[in-house]
Amino acid sequence: MIRKLSLLFAGALMGASAMTLVYGAPGSSANAADSDTYRQLAIFGDIFERVRAQYVTPPDDKKLVESAISGMLTSLDPHSSYLNPDAAKDMRVQTKGEFGGLGIEVTMENELVKVIAPIEDTPAARAGVLSGDLIAEIDGQEVRGLTLEEAVDKMRGQVNTAIDLTILRQGVKDPIKLKIVRETIKVRAVRYRVEDNVGYVKINSFTEKAYGDLQAAIDKIKADDPNVKGYILDLRLNPGGLLDQAVSVSDAFLDKGEIVSTRGRDPEKAERYDSRPGDLIDGKPLIVLVNGGSASASEIVAGALQDHRRATVVGTQSFGKGSVQSVIPLPENGALKLTTALYYTPSGSSIQGKGITPDIKVDQPLPEDLQGRDLTRGESDLKGHIKGQNEGEEGSGSAAYVPPDPKDDVQLKEAIALIRGDKTDPAFPPDPTKAVLLNQ
């Protein structure tokens, strides 16, 4: 079970450090703020003790503290959170590309667990779980009143054991009952094939395996078809992952120039990541496919290749998660996942709340059983999201749907036609004279 939509780490895990307090002159606003803060903390301590002493049943002190911390962090934005030791361990396992559970990306919305996307070829996907589904009950217990972490823990369990989910789906009157058998989820970071002399590579998520699997896939494609005309990089329904893997995947197709930069509160701590010489596909045409399920690390790759005119982006507006979460280890093996920066594409654009706009917009028609349902997903729809500098009235995101049969995939067909030359577009093949290559 993946815990959150599009987790993007800020490089290596940061070590825990002591808090630094900055004091102002006596009577300054800084001191006044500190004084107010400590008064509020005193109120918190008083309430905590009263709950411990007077609640109708003896509460679990540890759970009280964890709930208070979680409430503080979730009030900041949808992606900051406290990870207890079990959750932190689960996160570390996930980034390796192997974990136990059902195989769904989830978040919390209106006190229910909301499915961002089922992972391909997992129990949840085979059972028919769809993006946008709301999980209302887990094994007969209502989700309302549970935290996201508690709900995820209930959905996890021993391999080969069954779990009953009650799902609410837009456009369907009655709740849907599903029985799903848990499995060990081994996520293949990359899938590939050759179709009509075009190399097709799909990155499912940016785990530690992403770049290595991409390199192996391209080597295999070259061996299978030395005369391949070009490549399609499919990032649809890819929720993100590790920042260093996004940088490496972008670098795989670029010879020089900036890939991405991150900027937080302190201008002196801004970071820039640049590409190195070498293009795995030897300069051949490249199409990147995106949709409303393309988030975070996926948007870094799409934005870098688009800004440098190295690829044409085809599909619909991406999710729009342009924030970086630093994972700070805490005592007893817990961790703090805190939004510490926003990332910017080579042209200096923030996609927070806006997303990547395709060079060629191609809407994917929905099958008859999904028509009339709103499958649009975007950062700008999340309650409490950080307002992006480029966020407009339309917001971010689009339909997060890819047909299971490639024959019905009009976005993929468009990409193949562009590479084969059956269709032309001013942006394709890439024009080096228009490239945004900064500080060369």
Q: Which residues are catalytic?
A: 296, 307, 321
Long-range contacts of 432-439 (CB under 8 A, 24+ apart): 432/309, 434/309, 435/257, 435/307, 435/308, 435/309, 435/310, 436/257, 436/307, 436/308, 436/309, 436/346, 436/347, 437/256, 437/257, 437/308, 437/346, 438/257, 438/258, 438/346, 438/347, 439/258
AA identity, residue 150 = E
Task: Say if residue 37 is exposed, middle or buried (CB neighbours under 10 Å; 0-12, 13-18, 19+).
Answer: exposed
Find all residues with CB under 8 Å of 192, minimum gap 6, and list them: 199, 200, 201, 202, 217, 218, 220, 221
The rounded distance, in Å, linking the Cα atoms of 34 and 21 is: 10
- Size of the chain, expressed as the number of residues it contains: 440
What is d(CA 329, CA 154) in angstroms, rounded to the nearest whole number? Answer: 24
Distance, first Cα to last Cα, the chain: 43
CA distance 224 to 194: 8
Contact 264, 341 (CB under 8 A): yes
